[in-house]
Amino acid sequence: MRRFVNEKSRNLVNRLVSSSPLSSSHAFQPCASSISSQSRVLSNTSPTPDPSSSSDSMAGSDYSSTPVNIQSINPKVLKCEYAVRGEIVNLAQKLQEELHSNPGSHPFDEIIYCNIGNPQSLGQQPITFFREVLALCDHPSILDKSETQGLFSADSIERAFQILDQIPGRATGAYSHSQGIKGLRDAIASGIEARDGFPANPNDLFLTDGASPAVHMMMQLLISSENDGILCPIPQYPLYSASIALHGGTLVPYYLDEATGWGLETTELKKQLETARSKGVNVRALVVINPGNPTGQVLAEANQKEIVEFCKKERLVLLADEVYQENVYVPDKQFHSFKKVSRSMGYGENDISLVSFQSVSKGFYGECGKRGGYMEVTGFSPEIREQIYKVASVNLCSNISGQILASLVMSPPKVGDESYESFCAEKDAILSSLASRAKTLEKAFNSMEGVSCNRAEGAMYLFPQIHLPKKAIKAAEAVKTAPDAFYARCLLNATGVVVVPGSGFGQVNGTWHFRCTILPQEDKIPDIVARLTEFHKRFMDQYHD
Amino acid sequence: MRRFVNEKSRNLVNRLVSSSPLSSSHAFQPCASSISSQSRVLSNTSPTPDPSSSSDSMAGSDYSSTPVNIQSINPKVLKCEYAVRGEIVNLAQKLQEELHSNPGSHPFDEIIYCNIGNPQSLGQQPITFFREVLALCDHPSILDKSETQGLFSADSIERAFQILDQIPGRATGAYSHSQGIKGLRDAIASGIEARDGFPANPNDLFLTDGASPAVHMMMQLLISSENDGILCPIPQYPLYSASIALHGGTLVPYYLDEATGWGLETTELKKQLETARSKGVNVRALVVINPGNPTGQVLAEANQKEIVEFCKKERLVLLADEVYQENVYVPDKQFHSFKKVSRSMGYGENDISLVSFQSVSKGFYGECGKRGGYMEVTGFSPEIREQIYKVASVNLCSNISGQILASLVMSPPKVGDESYESFCAEKDAILSSLASRAKTLEKAFNSMEGVSCNRAEGAMYLFPQIHLPKKAIKAAEAVKTAPDAFYARCLLNATGVVVVPGSGFGQVNGTWHFRCTILPQEDKIPDIVARLTEFHKRFMDQYHD
């Protein structure tokens, strides 16, 4: 595979060099900047080192006497794709190394990673209260020292004591209950109740290392073979396609309607469900991402009710990715959890099977590196939940810091707490800045020739459509790459901005998009807008039909 | 399944009540203490709550209109078993709740969890230096405050600065590289080099949330169908059987020889390999756990060389579980990594495919709750490693605190560092106490009638064999439970000590064992020994043939 990729890449470069009309200087050449260095990059994009450069002196390139080769591994692994950390990121990492070792080697000073929802990597600061509590729980022996009072807020000290009291033996270094520490689940359940106005049961919660392992767990439970289908939005966050591929199931696509702001139509759901069923696919579940990733829309409550009704009628598990529940940027939209919506319709535990995923990585907290999250599992019989518990037990438990953080996210400081005001100030500053950045980037994209971008209602992304000239599409075809990947690569080489081609998320055939996060810090946005705009203009000028 | 389990349990209790010769008082009745409360327990052993007691007022027990039932889930999930957190632990949790709500309700004051290698849950204190660094990395804004100097050691502050410098943007809350932060991998590679005397490449390291996800990743790569087999020791740590079951492969057992101290004979490996191959199984890998879990033996270097030779000759991937590498308690044995052994034989990167698993959960650190660990992947071609990288990328990265801790474990304080002496004192105290506890328990087991226990050379467990009287076996059969599970349940009911029946790990047919950790704190060991001894005597008296 790697050989194949590299050959493809070399072809790409060769063809670019021989057939493209681009000049050899940096300026005005969005697509071929430093071809020679790109050639080096592309022949070395593998995340693993070239064995010949290994520190192991016995290494070489001949693996013929080792037992594993590409034909002998699990084909499900081969089939799995994950564009968010794919080839474009490898190229970006290489360019970054070149900038470091050879400043001025590219027409930009730094790489700006807009490929992934990773706020703190772009300078977002963690919420102070959360980090205070985590630090105190990591090193509880300082809790009763006088210096600690000077370093930490009073309520963080109090909260750390409370949390430690909930942990058997105060042992933050022990495996917990497989579902997570009971006291922390109690706090999360209270937070869910406060959010929804409906009861939540701590025994319905499974704390996990981020939301991804929770999604895998549900896919593992539901997928027995390729005969089992999962309805997924297109465009989708590729965790879903990857997880379905790894578990050997069938992704049943339903298309979000770009023309109506990435609308989710139940007629489309029904059509795709029937098509899949007519092919003998046993459709098990419906994935809904709300707010949308990569599409950024926030579902209206009426729409959510239709979806709940659809799942109930069609006997589908509703897998609700609600990790962006705090990320809503428009006054006319509001987040409603699917649990709240279904309970408000009168549907209870025995009526609808619903799993809600939440994470500490998103929201205003953005604590991706802490790997905290949970799923709330409702509407499954005790015997099924025993199976979920068993699978959770095999991995023992999720990391305790992530568990603590999940509880903090769902039970932040309250009025009267010492940290309350500073917490609110930090939270509001982050969320209002995200809203403003989303708006600025949305406007910028919509002002570009041949680009249309739906409103950024929520989440952390924009997913503009680029109406590429035929000449650009031909140029991409000539180098055997998808037109949007070609565009993204040209953008990276010209500006240092990393975006993910729409083909990594799925899109209507013949349309081209990319996903760009709204996460660069506010002071960088004007420069990024300028770079994007300038690049796009030149790209369009170059490939004008 | 749950219904079945409960019926079985009720039968067990009914039969115990109607047919057992046990009296109804606590004293002298190892097996039937508080039958009535046990009956309650057994009808409610599910980790999930009885729906009727759910806080959701709409809950009930009729799930007939929900889409998922036990017949419709992935049969691989059903097949998977994980005894370490199985039924006996559910019973223990219930007894604990009863002790809490009704002190004196059982003939013991507390439950002692010897079922799982979870040192800090039994009172082991974390290593101070490690926790200092973790706390500082969690809340870096205190690093340059004057109070911090009074609270933290100078070298922990220095180390935290060093680590932060290695993290892009000092962002401990950001997703890292999918394999883990490069600077931390550098530190781990140096630690491996110092341990082995052979080079280690940071690009060979994949940091994971404990060792378990790393094992899953390799099983996922190697297993395409039930036609793919993995050679596993019997007895084995049930992560392996669970992971093979979840990925749909075939466990090819090889038996450790109890008579020679759980010896690993290559003749046995060869025999089992040939048997499996004759049945058409494509055997892909050999799992070796060294030091052994649950068996506690430490392999001799000469034996390891035979194993390496065997894997090379038979073209098997060697999956080396080396998480107990610091846990060796006898002067005549030493830990040697399989990488060191294979390199010392002259086998390099192109000669043998070897994966070594390491964890922050074991050793003298015992940081189970931090979920840190790594695998060192050598002898795989770049194209295969690209696939491993891709699978790692789907889950983004492991938790950063766990990554930091993995680096600390492999690069602890050095001579001259402020913490060096206290670090060594903490480490030595823990390891020498573990050695002494292992010896005491080993002696205690060997002094019991009909019990034989191999030497505790390493790891955290003893795996004594119990030669049960026929009458005990019949009593177990009468309640439709395995004799060792019957023994373990009686032990728990009489003493509060939780052990895992040997049947959860696998054992030679007709032999019965249990796994007991050596982890209760030293001041509790005499009491535990007394309780075990007294229980065993009464059990044997009761069931004497």
Residue B38 pLDDT level (bands cut at 50, 70, 90)? very low
* pLDDT value of residue A81: 86
Backbone angles phi, psi at B206, to 5 degrees: -120, 110
B 381-440 residues with CB < 8 A to A: 381-387, 389-391, 393-402
Q: Is the pLDDT of residue A54 over 70?
A: no
Report the pLDDT averaged over residues A1-5: 35
Put simply, whether B261 touches A (Cβ < 8 Å) is no
* pLDDT value of residue B7: 37
Report the pLDDT averaged over residues B469-485: 95
Put simply, whether B2 touches A (Cβ < 8 Å) is yes
A151 contacts on B by Cβ (under 8 Å): 142, 145, 147-148, 151
pLDDT digits (tens, 9 = 90+) for A353-376: 999 999 999 999 999 999 999 999
If you count residue pairs, one on A and one on B, with CB atoms under 8 Å apart, how many are there?
A: 420
Q: Which of B9-23, B52-66, B338-352 has the lowest mean pLDDT?
A: B9-23
pLDDT digits (tens, 9 = 90+) for A221-232: 999 999 999 999
Q: Which of A52-61, A120-129, A489-498 has the lowest mean pLDDT?
A: A52-61
Instruction: Specify the DSSP class assigned to residue B125.
Output: P
Question: Is the ipTM here above 0.85?
Answer: yes
Its pTM stands at 0.90
Which distant-in-sequence residues (6+ apart) come within 8 Å of A83 by Cβ? A238, A500, A501, A503, A504, A505
* pLDDT value of residue B368: 97
- Mark yes or no for CB contact B400/A203 under 8 Å: no
* pLDDT value of residue A168: 87
Whether the CB-CB separation of A423 and B239 falls below 8 Å is answered with no
B 101-140 residues with CB < 8 A to A: 116, 118-123, 126, 128, 131-132, 134-136, 138-139
Residue from the list A59, A85, A175 with its beta carbon closest to the beta carbon of B368 = A175
Residue A19 pLDDT level (bands cut at 50, 70, 90)? very low
Residue A89 pLDDT level (bands cut at 50, 70, 90)? confident
Put simply, whether B80 touches A (Cβ < 8 Å) is yes
- In angstroms, the CA B93 to CA B101 distance is 12
What is the distance of C-alpha B341 from the center of its chain? 24
Q: Is the pLDDT of residue A58 over 70?
A: no
A 274-303 residues with CB < 8 A to B: 284
Residue A59 pLDDT level (bands cut at 50, 70, 90)? low
Q: Is the pLDDT of residue A267 over 50?
A: yes
* pLDDT value of residue A25: 33
Which amino acid is it at B271?
A: K
Put simply, whether A183 touches B (Cβ < 8 Å) is no
Residue from the list B246, B352, B401 with its beta carbon closest to the beta carbon of A399 = B401
* pLDDT value of residue B376: 98
Report the pLDDT averaged over residues A520-530: 94
**In what order do the strands lie in the sheet containing B500-501?**
B461-462, B514-517, B500-501
Residue A70 pLDDT level (bands cut at 50, 70, 90)? very high
Q: Is the pLDDT of residue A329 over 80?
A: yes
SS3 A257: strand
pLDDT digits (tens, 9 = 90+) for B110-144: 999 999 999 999 999 999 999 999 999 999 999 99
Strand bridging mode A282-289 / A228-234: parallel
For chain B, the residue count is 545
Tell me the nearest-neighbour CA distance from A240 into chain B, angstroms.
10
* pLDDT value of residue B308: 98
* pLDDT value of residue B251: 97
* pLDDT value of residue A90: 87
Tell me the nearest-neighbour CA distance from B506 into chain A, angstroms.
17
Report the pLDDT averaged over residues A61-86: 89
Whether the CB-CB separation of B500 and B488 falls below 8 Å is answered with yes
**More confidently predicted of B299 and A57:** B299
* pLDDT value of residue B59: 57
Tell me the nearest-neighbour CA distance from B540 into chain A, angstroms.
33
Report the pLDDT averaged over residues B391-415: 96
Residue from the list B56, B81, B175 with its beta carbon closest to the beta carbon of A348 = B56
* pLDDT value of residue B58: 46
* pLDDT value of residue A535: 96
- Mark yes or no for CB contact A353/B316 under 8 Å: no
* pLDDT value of residue B34: 32
Q: Can you give B434-484 as a three-state secondary structure string?
A: HHHHHHHHHHHHHCCCCEECCCCCECCEECCEECCCHHHHHHHHHCCCCHH
DSSP string, B316-343: -EEEEE-TTTT-B--TT-----HHHHHH
* pLDDT value of residue A223: 97
Q: Is the pLDDT of residue B6 over 70?
A: no
Report the pLDDT averaged over residues A262-267: 95
Average pLDDT, chain A: 89
Q: Is the pLDDT of residue A133 over 80?
A: yes
* pLDDT value of residue B97: 92
Q: Is the pLDDT of residue A517 over 90?
A: yes
Question: Residue A201: beta bridge partners?
Answer: none
* pLDDT value of residue A528: 94
* pLDDT value of residue B519: 95
pLDDT digits (tens, 9 = 90+) for B135-194: 999 999 999 999 999 999 999 999 999 999 999 889 999 999 999 999 999 999 999 999
Q: Is the pLDDT of residue A292 over 80?
A: yes
Query: Among the residues of B167-230, which ranges form H helices?
Result: 182-196, 211-222
* pLDDT value of residue B86: 75
Residue B103: CB atoms within 10 Å = 9
